[in-house]
């Protein structure tokens, strides 16, 4: 295999059952080590706040690097190599983030520049939903005989989604204050609107960016349930991901207030 083939493909890369194989598990172990190690590192350095910013910015820049790199690869494949798998696609397909995982990548990158607690909440929850589902049953990346650049892109970006989303929480960037919950809900709603725009305005190049349309792979091939039940479970999962951290934070704040009142008495 040449470097050109590794980057741009064009070779036979048979599918394999890579879910929960060695590479899948090793990737999860690395993510876990980083998620545990970053908070410990911050506690040991002198300037903890600066260390936090460096860690989060580094993770975001790694995401940005891979998001730009994959678009360069797709551009070359479309306009220079005229790869068969790119037939019928255009520059808009390359530029716009898709699917939900890629949308979350750009939300995480944007969060380090917006630097608002509610945006960290929204970006981290969006990324965590995608990455947790992906690592439970990855549909791309691990599932080919050879790990080409596109496979590596899928594996690394999802690993960064998981690591960055959890790190934003453990390092205190995401606050999950009760007053911000509606902003997070609005953010998810706008993401759904964006996905609907891709589905209906740019169809068929964007068939299902957020995996909520009927007849999808998750509904039919993985879960094997009716669309009504799938949509119910889909909404329930998103609601649980949104509400849980806000409920935990509110509970801690309530305990602190009760403790302060008890001390005064």
pLDDT 10s digits, 116-156: 999 999 999 999 999 999 999 888 899 999 999 999 999 99
| CA 144/CA 167 separation, integer angstroms | 30
Q: Which residue shows structure tokens 């960037």? A: 173
pLDDT 10s digits, 245-256: 998 888 765 565
Angle at 155 between CA 151 and CA 156, to 5 degrees: 115
pTM equals 0.91
**Beta-ladder partners of 15:** 144
| Structural domain spans, the chain | 3-215
In Å, how far from its chain's centre is CA 256? 33
Please report the pLDDT score of residue 41 as a whole number. Answer: 95
* Alpha-carbon separation of residue 129 from 15, 61, 162, 239 (angstroms): 25, 21, 9, 11
| CA 94/CA 103 separation, integer angstroms | 13
Please report the pLDDT score of residue 124 as a whole number. Answer: 96
Low-confidence ranges of the chain (pLDDT < 50): none
What number of other Cβ atoms are within 10 A of residue 33's Cβ? Answer: 11
| CA 215/CA 261 separation, integer angstroms | 55
Going by C-alpha positions, the residue among 234, 197, 200 that lies closest to residue 216 is: 234
| CA 4/CA 222 separation, integer angstroms | 34
Please report the pLDDT score of residue 221 as a whole number. Answer: 80
């Amino acid at each position: 295999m040449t470097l050109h083939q590794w980057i741009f493909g064009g070779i036979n890369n048979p599918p394999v059952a890579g879910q929960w194989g060695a590479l899948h598990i090793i990737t999860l172990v690395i993510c876990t080590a980083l998620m545990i190690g970053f908070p410990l590192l911050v506690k040991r350095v002198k300037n903890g706040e600066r260390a936090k910013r460096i860690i989060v910015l580094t993770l975001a820049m790694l995401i940005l690097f891979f998001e730009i790199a994959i678009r360069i690869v797709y551009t070359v494949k479309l306009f220079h190599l005229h790869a068969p798998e790119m037939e019928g696609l255009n520059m808009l397909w390359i530029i716009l983030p898709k699917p939900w995982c890629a949308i979350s990548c750009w939300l995480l990158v944007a969060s380090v520049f917006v630097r608002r607690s509610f945006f960290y909440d929204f970006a981290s929850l969006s990324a965590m939903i995608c990455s947790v589902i992906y690592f439970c049953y990855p549909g791309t990346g691990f599932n080919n005989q050879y790990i080409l650049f596109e496979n590596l892109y899928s594996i690394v970006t999802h690993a960064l989604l998981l690591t960055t989303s959890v790190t934003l929480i453990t390092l205190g960037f995401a606050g999950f204050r009760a007053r911000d919950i509606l902003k997070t809900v609005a953010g998810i709603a706008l993401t759904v609107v964006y996905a609907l725009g891709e589905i209906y305005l740019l169809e068929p190049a964007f068939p299902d960016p957020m995996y909520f349309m009927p007849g999808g792979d998750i509904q039919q091939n993985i879960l094997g349930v009716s669309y009504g039940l799938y949509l119910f479970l889909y909404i329930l999962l998103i609601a649980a991901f949104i509400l849980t951290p806000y409920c935990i934070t509110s509970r801690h704040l309530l305990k602190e207030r009760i403790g302060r009142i008890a001390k005064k008495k």
